[in-house]
Amino acid sequence: MSKPQNPALDINDWRIPELLASYERFGGFNQHNSTNLPSKGAVSEICVDLLQIMFPGFHDNDAIADGTLAQLTAERMLSVIRRLQEQVRKSVRIGNPTTPTGKTVPIMKKFVKAIPAVRELLKHDVEAALEGDPSVRLQEEIILSFPFIEAIAIQRLAHRLYKEGAPIIPRMMTEWAHARTGIDIHPGASIGTHFFIDHGTGVVIGETCKIGNNVKLYHGVTLGARSFAKDDNGQLIKGTKRHPNVEDNVTIYPNSTILGGETTLGENSTIGANVFLMHSVPPNSLVLYEPTGLQILDKNAKKKKAAVPEFSI
């Protein structure tokens, strides 16, 4: 005899009144008649299309046909600019939904003007990866397979929007890249040319970091804040310098943590693996973490010793 199937839930079991009450108490929903917020889905699609513009043919199913690059680029730029402008417009109107701010068009004009310069920076980033990773033979391998190149491409583009005062959208862009790559770079971070993150998983770079040229990071590196200043009411003080400066030609090995807005890693320095550092180091420093040291034992000798019978008297 088969068991009776469970009856379908009744609409009264769906807890809709309680859910609506939570919306009223706690907010957290996008109400059209107040401020229509930027769309996560739209920003994600824009990021994909920006990567196509940065690396034509590398993020497509097929190569770019001869003679079509100019038209294809114009079409993609028009599409991306139109959609991104709409998202920026929504972001600048948060808290002021009905009155035009006059900010959107100037932000977009400066962003579009910066795109060729961003491509040049990315070319140098690819070169840095080719020079810094002995496992790589071709630049194409870096563009097609290295997560860091997606993360830095989106960060460099988002940084331009951030500098021009676009709210929220730059952070949405870099968090999209973070979710895809495991590399978390705030759009506010200022990063010089020939930047390379090897492997990349778990790298965190904070908002007020200033990174020079020819800097190389490995996985698990954190460039973070030492502490968060508060005002007399116990509220966090925003806009202060909280994250380190990394000067030219610095290499930071895996799982090292560098903290503090007053911390500077001097040029040509090397930070070894697993270092925890909260103060500046001068140029040409070698910083190593040395605990008690390693013990290397002979496992066979240990087994032989265990095989000898022990007698007690």
pLDDT tens-digit readout, 93-151: 987 766 788 999 999 999 999 999 999 999 999 999 999 999 999 999 999 999 999 99
pLDDT tens-digit readout, 252-287: 999 999 999 999 999 999 999 999 999 999 999 999
The pLDDT of residue 277: 96
Looking at the domain assignment, is residue 103 inside a domain?
yes
Instruction: Among 125, 147, 181, give the residue marking a domain's end.
Output: 181
Residues 134 and 218 in one domain: no
Residues 220 and 175 in one domain: no
Looking at the domain assignment, is residue 190 inside a domain?
no
Residues 139 and 172 in one domain: yes
Question: How many independent structural domains does the chain possess?
Answer: 2
Looking at the domain assignment, is residue 274 inside a domain?
yes
Instruction: Among 152, 181, 210, give the residue marking a domain's end.
Output: 181
- Judge contact between 223 and 261, C-beta under 8 A: no
Residues 206 and 176 in one domain: no
pLDDT tens-digit readout, 43-93: 999 999 999 999 999 998 888 899 999 999 999 999 999 999 999 999 999
- Judge contact between 229 and 236, C-beta under 8 A: yes
CB-neighbour burial class of residue 202 (10 A; exposed 0-12, middle 13-18, buried 19+): middle
The pLDDT of residue 114: 97
HSE of 257, CA atoms in CB hemisphere, 13 A: 7
d(CA 219, CA 199): 6
Q: Around Cβ 313, how many Cβ atoms within 10 Å?
A: 2
CA torsion angle 183 154 120 261 (round to 10): -60
- Structure-token match 């265990």, residue found: 306
Looking at the domain assignment, is residue 239 inside a domain?
yes
- Structure-token match 């925003």, residue found: 238
Name the pLDDT band for 7 (thresholds 50, 70, 90).
Answer: low
The pLDDT of residue 291: 77
Q: Which domain holds residue 273?
A: 202-300
Q: In terms of pLDDT, which residue wins out, 14 or 212? A: 212
Name the pLDDT band for 313 (thresholds 50, 70, 90).
Answer: very low
Please state the rounded mean pLDDT for residues 146-167.
Answer: 97
Name the pLDDT band for 232 (thresholds 50, 70, 90).
Answer: confident
Looking at residue 102, which CATH number applies to its domain? Answer: 1.10.3130.10
CB-neighbour burial class of residue 248 (10 A; exposed 0-12, middle 13-18, buried 19+): middle
User: Exposed e or buried b for every residue in 237-246, given b needs 16+ CB within 10 A?
Assistant: eeeeebbbbb
Name the pLDDT band for 311 (thresholds 50, 70, 90).
Answer: very low
Residues in the chain: 313
Helix 169-181 to helix 69-92 angle (10° resolution) is 120
Residues 54 and 110 in one domain: yes
Instruction: Among 129, 152, 181, give the residue marking a domain's end.
Output: 181
Mean pLDDT score of the chain, rounded to an integer? 90
